[in-house]
Amino acid sequence: MLRLHTFPTLLITILMGWLSANDAQAENDKKIVLIAGPPSHGVLQHEHKAGCMLIEHCLQGRPGIELKVYTGGWPENPDALEGADAVIIFCTGGKNHLAIQENRLAQLEKVMQTGAGFGCLHYGVEVPRDQGGAEFLKWMGGYFETHWSVNPHWQAEFKAFPEHPISNGVKPFGVNDEWYFHMRFPEGMEGVTPILSAHPPKETMKRGDGPHSGNPAVREAVAQGQPQHVAWAYERPEGGRGFGFTGLHNHLNWRNPSFRKVILNAVLWIAQAEVPSNGVDCPLTEEMILSNLDQKRGRNPLEVLRDARKNQPFLSPVQGK
């Protein structure tokens, strides 16, 4: 017979075991840090905050995943990256890229040395060749290099995918976006697995030469029919993973299930978390997609959209809301 006075001891033992198990689980959680830059471009373009918060919505609550989202710029907390298993940045690129200001490349290098994953979305994949280029090539396996890469808007058709966890559950799809291509990759594509590849139409080469618009090398590649890789996975020789995704100029492309599945699968993969065999399924309503838009032009984003006739074709499913 169990004596009554043993119940408190038994209860404490069970509670301590439960707390220890949960502490152990928390220590094993994959910490994913998402950094969204300040507002940029027009409404429904470069929606850094809304995009990162959609990723958070889709992945929060998954066992073994801890998400930290910082919006409006680089996190003020100096320990924000500590213990990160993956860092994903969605921001304005080029000389204004968040990662190349102050001593942030050094901060990231410290995290990368622990084997953390690194990924960037859209304009975030561009940094100057002499200021971040070497680091992005090392951490992410590719980046947008001016006078080499280009940034036209075009309808990309993705018909085949590699055997890779990021491809899990992804079905053929086509999306119009500002798909950057002719990225700077390591020699021989060593360590790189192209995830999304397509043939740009000849119209993408009708622009003159310039830092983003065209150059002889990219013209030759397109003329030869070389497939262009607009999303890729990377396995670093010293450990750690990278992912680059050049789409997401158009925020409403989150509507496409395979488009968003590539991103969500990749976030898990670079953190070395398990990717479901059918990929991450995350249905999104129009209300969710139009939530957390950046304030632009000093007005409510949805009011701006409803007043802009040129945006109406994009808004047909949500008119009247």
Closest alpha carbon to 155 in 121, 201, 123, 196: 201
What is the per-residue pLDDT for 8?
55
Question: To the nearest whole percent, how much of the chain has pLDDT over 70?
Answer: 86
pLDDT digits (tens, 9 = 90+) for 116-147: 999 999 999 999 999 999 999 999 999 999 99
Residue 307 reports pLDDT greater than 80: no
pTM attached to this predicted model: 0.88
DSSP helix/strand/coil, 256: coil
The domain ranges of the chain are 28-295
Distance from first CA to last CA of the chain, Å, rounded?
66
pLDDT tens figures, 191-226: 999 999 999 999 999 999 999 999 999 999 999 999
Q: Has residue 231 got a pLDDT over 50? A: yes
Biggest alpha carbon distance in the chain?
A: 89
In the structure, what pLDDT confidence band is assigned to residue 21 with cuts at 50, 70 and 90?
very low
**Rounded distance between C-alpha atoms, residue 193 and residue 185, angstroms:** 11
244-253 pLDDT per residue, tens: 999 999 999 9
- pLDDT at position 5, please? 52
pLDDT of residue 92: 98
Give the Cα separation of 298 and 214 in Å (integer): 34
Q: Could you tell me the pLDDT band of residue 22, with boundaries at 50, 70 and 90?
A: very low
- Residue 276 CA: distances (Å) to CA of 50, 113, 224: 24, 27, 37
Q: How confident is the model at residue 20 (pLDDT cuts 50, 70, 90)?
A: very low
Kindly state the tokens that stand for 30.
């994959």
Among 74-83, 110-119, 293-302, name the one with the lowest average pLDDT: 293-302
Which range is least confidently modeled, 2-11, 29-38, 147-156?
Answer: 2-11
CA 24 – CA 32 distance, rounded (Å)? 18
The whole-number pLDDT of residue 296 equals 80
Class level of CATH domain 28-295: alpha beta
Task: Check: CB of residue 196 under 8 Å from CB of residue 229.
Answer: yes
Q: Is the pLDDT score of 9 beyond 70?
A: no
pLDDT of residue 162: 98
Average of per-residue pLDDT across 24-34:
78
The per-residue pLDDT for 309 is: 52
What average pLDDT does the structure give for the chain? 90
Tell me whether strands 86-90 and 30-36 are parallel, antiparallel or unpaired.
parallel
